[in-house]
Amino acid sequence: MNTNGAFLTVFFMLSINYTYCQKNKKTSINKSVISKTKHLSNQELQDWYHKDYEKDTIPGISLDKLYESNLLHGRKGKEIVVAVIDTKIDIHHFDLKGQLWVNKDEIPNNGIDDDGNGYIDDINGWNFLGNPNGEYLKYQSSEIVRIIKKYQKKFELKDSTEINKNELPNYRLYLKAKTAYKNEVKGLESSILYFKKSINKFPVATKTIQEITKKEDINISDLEKILKSSKDSTVISHASFLKSAKLKDHTIELYTHYVKWFEEMLNTTFDLNYNERAIMGDNPDDIKNSIYGNNIVYGEVPFNHSIVVSGVIGANRTNNIGAKGFSKNIKIMPIVMVASGDEHDKDIALAIRYAVDNGAKIVNMSWGKKLSLNQKWILEAMKYAESKDVLLVHGAGNNGFNTDHNTYYPNDYLNDLELVDNFIVVGASSYELTKNLRASFSNYGKKTVDVFAPGVKIYTTKEGNEFKFSRGTSLAAPMVSGLAGLLWSYFPNLTANQLKNILMESGSTFHLPVTIIDENDIKKEIPFTELSKSGKIINAYNAFLMASEFQKQSTTKN
């Protein structure tokens, strides 16, 4: 990190923030002004995250307020490329039509690397999990499996007294991985057993309730009546099971999918004999062995994720169908390196470099893991992105823990020092102005999480020209990526660090206590403002005003 440059940026940002606050009323909500928790209809849920608290009493990001104002009037903006490093994507989804990045320096399907970047026919991006024959890796190994395989021969028959001092960190990592491996396998086996039992219970429970109601189609109201009136424990159990399934949209088909998926993970992701790099044919231990994969960024996968993330960022805003993204000026660059399992550090590093080298200004990373075997490669890629003024946006993770105390990768820390100033970590907030404002699953950290963004009940694109609600910090991160893309489109002279600071400083402040589970598994309440560095939820309207003020003062100084 350029310490002097960072200091000047922060100093300048404080000046901008002061001026901005004098001219504009920032959103700062106290518990005392919240008279009720707003109940949202299904229609309201479809775009709650774009709403404004002051106007709609919904803690969204005020994107609608920005578009309804005159701030964008007469402005065209420039094209901004946002790389989505993720799974394969449905590039044919109608709501993403015209929003995908096209490599204009490459001639389609001629088998030649026209632009000389090393990747043949990369028209819409690159797939680091494929090969020239069109084959694709569906299941990656877990990082704990990679660690065990690397150190098993060296440490398997030794205890700590036999380990050289220099090898102790690796030995401890190996032991940590072994413990985690046992827990993960046990968890998968338990889940498979649960879903198999549930599959068998569905027809039995359904038949029982149908006989009581004399109805073929059972609804939640029917089940609630039975739960209130029945004294039979078996009937109550069946009714409770079906009610829970209906509320969560759980079906036999879904449970069957989970059983198949988890069994496949046991046979691949958590199999110590599984060769995850066989399809790619690269040397996974050599970061310089970088030319592998193929140009097929679309297709069926067991785990569809990129389409959900990309819709948040770039879905069509004007067709009045489905989801709405942030700006027509944003183009999505799909880069594939995520499948079921854990992302490989080599693929992560090369995907970041590919994005930077091919014109992306923002890189969205809606994934992560608890361990990292080759963090150095990723940190070097982050430094490279920083040198090219590219913003990296990462979801904080869905473990529900404090990342100040529980390391989550990738991150920009080494030996407790923050190495770059272009990396922003995003937690997930909900639509409830209650103790549940922090999404229950979201990681948090006063030191390691920068800002929050909506990540619950997010209506977005789904493969096959469909839409769905989704949740996770995987959805919160693209909120920040989308807003960053919108701002950079209209204020292209901002640096990545300046943009990061604007996103953090311009957010909405909610002075509410929220519930967390601390490192001792004790439920407690802390202020929402203590969950991240900024203590805020991003606000598009405020951010645009602050960026505009920043540009004015920068122009005046020059």
Same domain, 127 and 200: no
550 and 401, same structural domain? yes
Residue 525 lies in a domain: yes
Same domain for 322 and 392?
A: yes
* Final residue before a domain boundary, out of 227, 251, 267: 267
Q: What is the CATH number of the domain that holds 465?
A: 3.40.50.200
**Does 26 share its domain with 133?**
yes
Residue 184 and residue 104 share a domain:
no
Say yes or no: 227 and 306 in one domain. no
Q: What is the DSSP letter of 236?
A: H
Q: Are residues 114 and 183 in the same domain?
A: no
The confidence score (pLDDT) of residue 34 equals 44
The whole model's pTM is what? 0.90
Helices (H), 268-399: 306-314, 345-357, 375-387
Q: Could you tell me if 54 and 74 are in contact, meaning their C-beta atoms sit under 8 angstroms apart?
A: no
Positive or negative, the CA dihedral 218, 223, 229, 230 is positive
Enter the tokens of residue 386.
């920083």
Identify whether residues 432 and 458 lie together within a single domain. Answer: yes
Domain boundary among 246, 267, 288: 267
Cα 274 to its chain centre, rounded Å, is 27
Looking at residue 38, its pLDDT comes to: 59
Farthest-apart Cα atoms in the chain, separation: 80
Instruction: Identify whether residues 240 and 309 lie together within a single domain.
Output: no
pLDDT at position 3: 40
Counting as low any pLDDT under 50, the low residues of the chain are: 1-15, 18-19, 22, 31-36
Same domain, 439 and 346: yes
Q: Can you give the pLDDT at residue 127?
A: 98
The answer to whether residues 547 and 74 touch, using CB atoms and an 8 Å cutoff, is no
> What single-letter DSSP state applies at residue 275?
-
Q: Write down the pLDDT at residue 27.
A: 52
Based on the structure, what is the number of domains in the chain? 2
Nearest to 98, CA basis, from 276, 420, 319: 319
CA–CA gap between residue 280 and residue 294 (Å, rounded): 9
Find the domain containing 510 and state its range: 3-32+48-137+297-557
- For residue 106, being part of any structural domain is answered with yes
Query: How confident is the model at residue 39, as a pLDDT?
Result: 77
State whether 118 and 150 are in the same domain: no
**The total number of residues written for the chain in this structure:** 558
Is position 419 within any domain? yes
Please work out, in degrees rounded to the nearest 5, the angle formed at the alpha carbon of residue 99 by the alpha carbons of 101 and 500. 80
d(CA 385, CA 377): 13
* One domain for residues 365 and 511: yes
